[in-house]
Amino acid sequence: MAGPRAIQGPAMTDPLKLERRRRAIHGWLLLSPALAMLTVFALYPSVATFWTSLWSRGTRRNPSEFIGLENYRALLEDPTFWKVVWNNLLYAGVTIPASIAIALIMALWANSRIPARSFIRTAYFTPTVLPMIAAGNLWLFFYTPSFGILNKIGALFGAPSVNWLGQPDTALWAICIVTIWKEAGFFMVFYLAALQTIPPDLKEAAEIEGASRWTYLRRIVLPLLMPTTLFIFVNAMINSVKLIDHLFILTKGGPSDSSKLILYYIWENAFAYFDRPAAAAMTIFVLIVLGLLAAFQFLVLERRTHYQ
């Protein structure tokens, strides 16, 4: 925007300057709705959160006081925080590649000429349309010990009853599976859309050149899907930090923090322990990590991606 500079002119007698000024006002008017929205809903909360994180937790006897980075130091010394960070890394490391791979396979399949194609596409998409809470309850039933469907099936083969959500060894994995189940169908829709933009004569040209289906997939389809993959990757990354509703229904972060993820821990700090400054410090920490990740993705991966 050349706006501010244009306004600084001296006397507005010059018609050219008047016109410039008119344009500048016009520009700022067009900008202002987005500016107002972003300030109120994104910029202000971020700054306020950062400000909060610099103060101590106030009680009736000890009013909150400015303590600088003390909250951050406390955070780094909190073993639960590190446990939660580790859980979250594991969760992201498992669910993102798995759901992207499954989404791609499903999309390739649903894009080929198969009977009942639209039925299959709809079926894959259903988990995404389902409200999170409903999906959570559904899986709660699957995982229930003794009479849950997983254990029922296991019992047919003589497997002992397992409390999937109730033991530290399996709880996080159970959460991962629910996420993969839910995300894969969603990502498949993006892959399906991208696959349909690939002109069919590329396949024919590759066929005439003697490329096998595998070669065509590896050399042509996958590179052309890279922009979609990058988009999905960024989304999956954000989703892995955003997950909270499944935890509410399925485990509440337990047992013994084994399935606790970062957003749930922030929520717990803010609204269960009423330690707002700690929650704010954690939020800032997450914001910084996500920002770095986004920068990496868009600066490094973007360059290796071909956009049509």
199 binds another protein (CB under 8 A): yes
220 binds another protein (CB under 8 A): yes
Among 156, 158, 209, 299, binds another protein (CB under 8 A): 209
Shortest reach from residue 221's CB to another protein, in Å: 10
Shortest reach from residue 223's CB to another protein, in Å: 5
Among 11, 29, 112, 201, binds another protein (CB under 8 A): 201
Sign of CA dihedral 208, 214, 217, 218: negative
Among 43, 129, 205, 295, binds another protein (CB under 8 A): 205
Q: Is 176 exposed, middle or buried (0-12, 13-18, 19+ CB in 10 A)?
A: buried
Q: For residues 83 and 203, which CB has a smaller minimum distance to another protein in the complex?
A: 203
Going from the C-alpha of 5 to that of each of 23, 35, 107, 182, the distances in angstroms are 12, 19, 51, 51
131 binds another protein (CB under 8 A): no
206 binds another protein (CB under 8 A): yes
Q: Which stretch binds another protein (CB under 8 A): 78-86, 113-121, 153-161, 206-214?
A: 206-214
Q: For residues 108 and 132, which CB has a smaller minimum distance to another protein in the complex?
A: 108
Under DSSP, the state recorded for 88 is: H
HSE-CB for 282 with a 13 A CA cutoff: 25
Alpha helices, H only, 112-131: 117-129
Shortest reach from residue 228's CB to another protein, in Å: 13
What type of residue is 220?
I
Three-class DSSP category at 115:
coil
CB atoms within 10 A of CB 110: 22
Question: How far is 29 from 39, CA to CA, in rounded Å?
Answer: 15
Interacting positions 226-255 with another protein (CB under 8 A) = 226
Q: Which stretch binds another protein (CB under 8 A): 14-22, 210-218, 268-276, 280-288?
A: 210-218
Question: Angle of helix 276-296 relative to helix 222-242, nearest 10 degrees?
Answer: 170
Binding site for another protein (CB under 8 A): 199, 201-202, 204-212, 215, 219-220, 223-224, 226, 306, 308
